[in-house]
Structure 1
Amino acid sequence: MDFSERREPLPVTDGIRSLSERGSIGREWWSRRFVDVLESFADRNRLHRGRAYARKGQVIDLKVRPYEVRARVQGSRPEPYEVAIGIDAIGEETWRVVEAELASRAVFRARLLAGELPPEIEWVFAELGVPLFPASAHDLHLMCDCPDYGDPCKHAAAVLYLLAEAFDRDPFLLLAWKGRSRDLLLQGLRRLPAEGAPDPFDVGDEPLTAAGFWTAGPGLAALRDRPPAAPAPPDLLLRLLDPPAVKVRRRPLIDMLGPAYEAMPQA
C-alpha cells in the first residue's frame, strides 16, 4: 500500500501537463510500445496515480540525457521530489555495430534520415542484444527521494508517462536516452554506406562458373511466404544524399523539396 502523500499535491503553475486527458498515453508506435511494456510489469495503482499527476501538470521539468532522465515532481510537501530514471549504458563498439546494421538497409537509413523510426528497428536492436525498450523492471533504475517504497512510485510513473509523450514529439529522444544523439547517429548513417557497405559487384576470389545456372529458383509459394518489405519513402534518394549547403528563405533545400517528392506518387 502507498502510505505517502494522502493529501492532494500542491498545484504547479507552469508544470508539464500531459496532452492526453483520458485513456492511453502515447500516439506513435514507439511511444505506445514504451507505455505498453511499462504497464506490463509496473504496479497498476501507482501507474494510475502517475497518470493523474502527469495530467495535472505536477512535473515541473524533465531533462533527457544519455542513459538518464531527471525531473522534479511536485507532491504535497513544499519542496518538489527529485526523480532520476536510469538505464544500462551501451558501449561505443556496440553502437558502431548498430549503426552499421542500420546503414546496411537502405529503407532503414532513409526513414531515419527522414526523422522516422521504422517498426522493424526494434528487431535490429533485439538481434544485437541491446533491446530498444525495457523488458522488465530490472532494466529501469528508478530513484525518487519520496517516502514511497513503490517501484515505480507515482512521481516516477508521472515522469515515465511524460517521457513517452516526449518520444511522440521527437523519436530521436528515445535513441538519445539510449546514448546516441540524432546528429551522431545521422552522421554515422551517412558515412557508413560509402565506407563500409559491401560492393554488390565484388565476387571475391571465387571464379565465375555456369554451375547452378539452370537450377530452378524458389517457387511462387516461397515468394508469397516472404514478409513484405517496408515501403520506401518517396524522398528516399533525397534523404540518402548528403544535404546540400543551399538554403531557400533560410530553410534547408531538402526541407523545401520534401513535399514535392511526397506529392509525385499521388500525381
Structure 2
Amino acid sequence: MSRNDWFEPSRPIRVEGGIRARSRRGSIGEQWWSRRFIDILERVCDRGRLSRGRSYARSGQVLDLEIAPGLVTARVQGSRRTPYKVGIEIAAYDADRWRALAGALAAQALYRAKLLAGEMPAEIEDVFHRCDLPLFPDERELDMDCSCPDWGFPCKHLSAVLYVLAEAFDDDPFLVLAWRGMGKDALLGALRETGGGEEPAPARPGLFDVTDTPFTERMADFYEPGASPARLRDRTALPVAPPDLLLRTLDPPPLTARKIPILDLLRPAYQAFAESDDA
C-alpha cells in the first residue's frame, strides 16, 4: 500500500438520500440549545475541519444518524467506496440522577409547564448545573471516533455529523435529553407523576354550581334559577374609577384652545358626563 493511500482526495463520492443540512450559508443551528452545542464545538475544534464538515453536512454526505443514551452513531460517505463509521459518546445519566433532575424540574412550575408543552426553557441548563450534572458536553467529555485515517480532532466526517446533530436538536430539543439518557416520553411521564410536589387547591363551589340531574327528573323546576336572587344581588362593590381615567393613561395631544391644554378642557366634560350618569 502506498503512502498516498492513507490520505483521502478532496472530493467525496456524491450520494443520494443523505441527511442534508438545511442551513445553506453561515452558522448552523437556529434554537438556543443547538447554538449552545455548536458554540462549544467551534470553540474547541479545528476551524478548518469544521468548515469542511459544514460542506459535507450541506451536501448530504451524512448517510444516517442514530441517537441513543450516551452515544450518537452515523455513517459518512467520503471519497472511498465504503462509508466511514462515526461514534460520539458522552456520559448518560442513570435512573437516580434523572430522578433528581426530574424532581428539580418539576419543582419549578414554569419549567415543568414549558416542558409538558414541548418547549425547552432556557433556564433548564441552570437546573442541571445545580444538580452538578452538565446538560451539554464540553471538550473533555466528548469521546469522538471515526474510521477514517485522518487523526485531526475532529475530522471533517465527525464535524459533518456534529452539525447534522445540531439541526436534529433544532427539530426536537428532547433529543438533547435523550442523549443524556432520558427519552421524551419517560421525562414527561416523570414530570406528570411528580407534579412539582404541590397539592392541588381544594375546589371552591361556584355561584352557579348545581347538581347534574337528568332532564326527566327536572321538568317541574327546570326553569327555576340554580341560585336565589338574593345571592345574585350579593356582589362585592368594585372600586369606582375616576371619570378622567382614560385621559390620565393616554399621552396628552399637543393641542391647545385659547392657550389652554386640551386635556384641561376635557376633564370637566368627563366629570359632567359621570355626574349625569349617576343622576
TM-score, normalization: structure 1? Answer: 0.71
Name the residue aligned to 1:151: 153
Post-superposition offset of 1:89? 2.1
Work out whether 1:184 is the aligned partner of 2:181: no
2:102–2:190 CA contact under 8 A, matched in 1: yes
Runs of 4 or more consecutive aligned structure 1 residues displaced over 3 Å after TM superposition: 198-201
- The within-5 A match list for 1:49-60 is 49-60=52-63
Name the residue aligned to 2:225: none
Name the residue aligned to 1:197: 197
Post-superposition offset of 1:197? 1.0
Alignment: residue pair count: 196
Name the residue aligned to 1:13: 16
Post-superposition offset of 1:151? 1.6
Q: Distance in 2 between matches of 1:28 and 1:85?
A: 21
Work out whether 1:68 is the aligned partner of 2:71: yes
2:92–2:179 CA contact under 8 A, matched in 1: no
Work out whether 1:110 is the aligned partner of 2:116: no
Q: Distance in 2 between matches of 1:190 and 1:43?
A: 43
Post-superposition offset of 1:9? 0.2
In the TM superposition, what whole-angstrom CA distance separates every residue of 1:27-68 from its partner, at most 9, and x where no partner exists? 111111111111111111111111010011100011111111
Which consecutive unaligned segments of at least 5 residues does structure 1 have? 202-267
TM-score, normalization: structure 2? Answer: 0.68
Name the residue aligned to 2:96: 93
CA RMSD in angstroms comes to 1.5
Identity %: 55
Post-superposition offset of 1:7? 3.0
Q: Distance in 2 between matches of 1:156 and 1:71?
A: 9
Q: Distance in 2 between matches of 1:34 and 1:24?
A: 12
- SS of corresponding position for 1:70: strand
Post-superposition offset of 1:177? 0.7
Q: Distance in 2 between matches of 1:39 and 1:96?
A: 32
Post-superposition offset of 1:94? 0.8
Name the residue aligned to 1:174: 176
- SS of corresponding position for 1:176: helix
Post-superposition offset of 1:129? 1.4
Larger of the two Rg values belongs to structure? 2
Work out whether 1:132 is the aligned partner of 2:126: no
Q: Distance in 2 between matches of 1:178 and 1:25?
A: 22
**Matched letter for residue 101 of structure 1:** A
**Matched letter for residue 176 of structure 2:** L
